[in-house]
Structure 1
Amino acid sequence: MNKIAQIVKWCNGALAVDVDINAEIDELATDSRNIEHPETALFIAIKTNLRDGHLYIADAYVAGVRNFLVSRHVEAGELQGANIILVKDTLLALQQIAAGHRKQYKLPVIGITGSNGKTVVKEWLYQLLGGRFSIARSPKSYNSQVGVPLSVWLMEPEHQLGIFEAGISQPGEMEQLEKIIAPTIGVFTNIGEAHSEGFLNIRQKINEKLILFRHAQHLVYCHDHAQLNECIVNYVHHVQDVKLFSWSAKQDADLRVTKINKQGNKTQITASYKGEEATVTIPFGDGASVENAMHCWCVALLLGLSQAEIAEGMMSLQSVSMRLELRHGLNDCTVINDAYNSDLTSLQLALGYLDQQKQHLMHTVIMSDMLQMGKADIDLYEEVAAQISRRGIQRFIGIGPALYKNKAAFRKYKKLRSIFFRSTEDFLKNFHQLTFNKEAILLKGARVFAFEKIGLLLEQQVHQTVMSINLAALKQNLDVFRAELSPGVKTMAMVKAFAYGSGSYEIASLLQHAGIDYLTVAYTDEGISLRKSGITLPIMVMSPDASSFDRMIAWNLEPEIFNFRSLGMFVQIAQTLQVKNYPVHIKLDTGMHRLGFEAHDMEQLITLLKDNPMLQVASIFSHLSASEDPKEDDFTALQAKRFDDMSSQLMRELPNSPLRHLCNSAAIVRHHSLHYDMVRLGLGLYGVDGSHSLEGKLQQISTLKTMIAQVRDVPAGDSVGYGHKAMADHDRRIAVICIGYADGYLRDLGNGNAYVLIHGQQARTIGSICMDMCMVDITNIPEAKEGDEVTVFGNDLPVTLLGQWANTISYEIMTSISQRVKRVYINEE
């Protein structure tokens, strides 16, 4: 372990408070909610445009942390017994600490950069080389200015090889990452348009990324990328110590591909190296996988693996899923599937996600053996058991011979019920003896243990049509809007209407974890459901039924008050229940004429509010009618003027200072002067740019997919579907797909008004949309077959397009998706 005194030297810091300079640091923490070993952790208060880590120092202290790295004065009296290191820039200090840590290790390190494929190449190298080396590597896709130092910090004395990826979004960023990774072998995967906004052109982006390899001994790349090759050759002319190791399918190279033979879902690659030919087979049929495999082949040769070892490893490569999947399970369970690999670091990340599932009191972990070199089994599983116990998990199910052998490491924790099986097959045979009911279940297994079989047993089988919701995209959309706000402006997020069809609790849980200030639902029952699931954020109810005011108070929900009738009835309930200063939200009508008090109501409203100690106005707000439309900016300005006048009149008379909010998603972007104290995020949060001003920065979070149930040939002259109306004017091949109007696929989308994507190609609807099925034309998609995947909407088929086809808006499409359609929540890291 490194000591505080060493940390101070590495980051050129000053000990503002010196309690124990010999305190040992094992963990670097930037999130107060995810600290594994608080007694040996250093909490680093990183300040970004979106969040200031200094605001969470108290939380880290309460969690047990006694070592802090800060960039501004902190009251020592509030952190008794703590070491406090003061620096100018905590992010730079984190990077310097990681660079100092890296210098302690004289081992080969592979540094990977490029536009695409970095994470896959890193994980495949881990799969290829893991049997020979004890490897430290980036968790998931930790390749940012914060992620890289946290990754390199994971290097320990038992490691024999490091594999780290680095990504940048603007010039100057790679300078620091190079000092941290200090690769001996470099891999430049490829170059493309991704994340190009911060660069003048592709050439500048290549040259910036090449800085990662200025002290490397070898650089692996594909000679066939013309611009990349040109830049690399010029770069090596100035940095002559770097030896190039290229591969090519078109010209001479160190590893020359002579033949590529695709055989279904496999690809056979033959290449020549040093005059000898060798052949490998990878279990993938796409071009990107071939490119990634070639980079791995080159690195394996540089590290001395034989062609036979490489061929054996290539055939065993597993697909890389860098995401957690949250699915609804049997008996009201939630299943978190993270069964793509199993090591200590990824386990810690997955356990942090399990912690967020507050809707369940019971948490279970099902885990396989860790195929991890470098730690003795007893030490490894002692640490696993400690992590599981610290998280308060009630049940642990271990699968594999090593876990079975090390049962004692878990059995010593009396509050943890532990069960062990020698193999996955053994678990499956005994599955009927286990009970899973209303709990959160984490699946964490190495690929060879085939945990997908366990997942199938645990998941609720609902429908062949599935809507995937990308929670990482939702978080990115939130950050896009937060970047538009001035410091101190709060955010309220709409999770009404089942979070626009995406699933209320799962969305609310992520928003709570992301630090949103308020949630909004339409009805009381929605709010109660969130409370029962463990959501503690303030929740505003927009359309409260007066008969549910008592339940709102019981569940700490805050009503929107929009007329004197609702105000009077709420006051009566508050008096009966003897509550005081209960938060309410006053809605003003500034011109939309839907709900709200008007200007002539202000005097009476002020009198009633001032005379009622039972209430306290938490916020005053109104709703803009056309904030997205530049042609209506004059009307938006008129609404804002009315809001200013009425809200100011109220605030002058109220004893407290309520929050004011007016902006919806479009207004956040188009009307910065109207942000007031808080803004409301609705459809924009889910990836729809109503303002048309964000230039593709938002990501559509939902993808709706189904499958082909049957393929049939329809001769010319025959009809398709109800009504005997959709006549085939020529011989057609059609697919019956498993989605209909009962799933939310509107009838207006039938009769050729819409298309779906099959194998990336358009297949138009034929005939009317049925209740559970519809038909599409696949005459020009000969490879389409029964069981194939069908995209109804997603990144390549925007939901806004379906709205246009159905003569409606995205809201209706999204909120129409039936509850019977299975939701899968993806959390990409």
Structure 2
Amino acid sequence: MTTAIIHQRFLVSSGISTDTRNIKPGSVFFALKGKNFNGNEFASQAIANGAICAIVDDKAFALNDKEYIVVNDTLEALQKLAKFHRKFLGIPIIGITGSNGKTTTKELIYNVLSKKYQVTATQGNLNNHIGVPLSLLAMDEETELGLIEMGANHPGEIEFLSNIAMPDYGFITNFGKAHLEGFGSLEGVIQAKTELYRHLKENKKLIFLNLDDEVQRLEVNYNHTFTFGSNRKAQVKLTYPENVDSAELIFNDTRFTSQLNGTYNAKNMAAALCIGLYFKVPFEDIKNAIENYKSSNNRSQIVEGKNSNKIYLDAYNANPTSMMAALGYFENLKTNTTKIAIVGDMGELGAASETEHQVIVNFLENTNISEIYLVGKKFKKTTTSRPNIIKFENTENIKKHLKLAEIQNSSILIKGSRAMALENILEVFV
């Protein structure tokens, strides 16, 4: 009953607010709590700043019955409201998860589907137990399709988010060595990510499946699928050109060339193509949407720098799988310029951290990359006998070095975890 009452308030509001520093006038404020803050303490400020209603879980902060609603737990109330609203709208929802490339894939799919439908998608990477409810609550009666990204670093989280979003369709980009600290192993990653597929199977919903991914083929074991890949049994049969520098694919004798670096992004393009075809987006619109997509969030960006330098920026996140994919692509990059790799620490690897960082260094020792810079305390602990592998403890130190080095006519890969903030190096080159 309380959720229905909150939903009534929500429907006449301007949306949801969770931070009094940027209250939307006319919004419903949820007094969320964290390790270092208690949103209940700011409820009255939210009302003063223009919120029409404050949801609190401490009755001491409910100053009246008109503007305040007391619940047992504000986060749980937000999640229940999101699920209620999802049922209220009744629109098709596509769920996306995976170890690598899920945000880029989500944005490609959004670009494609938006050519025909009114689509509301997860903003940025708001893909957790708070972000998914907020994404659902950003949808309204004009929304024709919802696109929800789901992230996780522990078992059970994708299942939990799936129970809130109740997707009608789902896609997993891949399984990789990400968040090993929470999942324990690659097998743990696979079990956790496939919680999305298990939810879809239990509810007889459709799975978009990359038939080139052997692990996914084995895990799905389900007939209600729409498939793509170079596999001859794929419903959307395509090929991936070899010896190319950008992400490309060929479908029905038509070549798609994206503005993303890394041939590994071709699989993300293929997923967007597959889903666009399923939802009957006109073919030329699909092609234009994929080819005109530009990443602007430090993911797979190509930046033309000064002194004839070209920067391949992929500094939003990193794990052993995505790192090896980026380095493999960069090693095979055909260029007459000097190759320089700037590689930052990978996070959330737990007990595997030391081994996985050393594996990366061992790989780098045998590449054709002319100059290699390792950045971070974890890479600092690795061992190498190659003299052109230079270590820096942090981003600021390598920035100082690069400013003095006066690098020119080079191809430069920048790859590392979010915590390393390697995108700050970009100012040296542009």
Report if TM-score (shorter chain) is over 0.5: yes
Identity across aligned pairs (percent)? Answer: 24
Match of 1:111, SS?
A: strand
Q: Distance in 1 between the 2:19 and 2:369 partners?
A: 52
Given the alignment of the two structures, is residue 102 of structure 1 paired with residue 86 of structure 2, yes or no?
yes
**Aligned match of 2:40:** 54
Structure 2 segments unaligned to the other structure (5+ residues): 319-343, 355-367, 373-385, 392-400
- Change over 3 Å in CA distance of 1:696–1:823 after alignment to 2: farther
TM-score under structure 2 normalisation?
A: 0.67
Higher Cα radius of gyration: 1
Q: CA deviation at 1:94?
A: 0.6
Counterpart residue type for residue 254 of structure 1: Q
Q: CA deviation at 1:158?
A: 1.7
Q: Which range moves more in the overlay, 184-193 or 289-298?
A: 184-193
Residues 620-666 of structure 1 deviation map (CA, whole Å, 9 limit, x = unaligned): xxxxxxxxxxxxxxxxxxxxxxxxxxxxxxxxxxxxxxxxxxxxxxx
1:625-644 to 2 correspondences below 5 Å = none
**Aligned match of 1:31:** 19
**Aligned match of 1:560:** none
1:101-500 to 2 correspondences below 5 Å = 101-199=85-183, 201-213=188-200, 214-215=202-203, 217-233=205-221, 236=222, 243-258=224-239, 260-265=241-246, 267-270=248-251, 277-283=252-258, 284=260, 286-314=262-290, 316-322=291-297
Q: CA deviation at 1:292?
A: 0.1
Higher relative contact order (CA 8 A, sep 6+): 2
Aligned length: 354
Which of 755, 759, 764 is the matching residue for 2:389?
755
Match of 1:69, SS?
A: strand
Counterpart residue type for residue 59 of structure 1: Q
Match of 2:89, SS?
A: coil
Are the aligned partners of 2:54 and 2:68 in contact in 1 as well (CA < 8 Å)?
Answer: yes
Q: Distance in 2 between the 1:60 and 1:9 partners?
A: 16
Are the aligned partners of 1:279 and 1:311 in contact in 2 as well (CA < 8 Å)?
Answer: no
Q: CA deviation at 1:753?
A: 5.5
- Change over 3 Å in CA distance of 1:193–1:145 after alignment to 2: same
- Change over 3 Å in CA distance of 1:248–1:171 after alignment to 2: same
Q: Distance in 2 between the 1:73 and 1:145 partners?
A: 24
- Change over 3 Å in CA distance of 1:771–1:32 after alignment to 2: closer
**Aligned match of 2:329:** none
- Change over 3 Å in CA distance of 1:694–1:88 after alignment to 2: farther
Higher share of residues assigned helix: 2
The CA RMSD measured in Å over matched residues stands at: 4.6
Residues 288-346 of structure 1 deviation map (CA, whole Å, 9 limit, x = unaligned): 211101111111111013444433443x332222369xxxxxxxxxxxxxxx9xxxxxx
Match of 2:241, SS?
A: strand
Q: CA deviation at 1:64?
A: 2.8
Q: CA deviation at 1:67?
A: 1.4
Are the aligned partners of 2:24 and 2:50 in contact in 1 as well (CA < 8 Å)?
Answer: no
Are the aligned partners of 2:248 and 2:263 in contact in 1 as well (CA < 8 Å)?
Answer: no
Q: CA deviation at 1:151?
A: 0.6
Q: Distance in 2 between the 1:821 and 1:132 partners?
A: 36
Structure 1 segments unaligned to the other structure (5+ residues): 11-19, 237-241, 271-276, 325-339, 341-451, 474-685, 698-732, 738-751, 758-768, 776-784, 800-819, 825-829
Residues 743-783 of structure 1 deviation map (CA, whole Å, 9 limit, x = unaligned): xxxxxxxxx965369xxxxxxxxxxx9994479xxxxxxxx
Q: CA deviation at 1:266?
A: 5.6
Residues 560-579 of structure 1 deviation map (CA, whole Å, 9 limit, x = unaligned): xxxxxxxxxxxxxxxxxxxx
Q: CA deviation at 1:229?
A: 1.8
Are the aligned partners of 1:101 and 1:153 in contact in 2 as well (CA < 8 Å)?
Answer: yes
**Aligned match of 2:339:** none
- Change over 3 Å in CA distance of 1:63–1:71 after alignment to 2: same
Q: Distance in 2 between the 1:154 and 1:311 partners?
A: 28
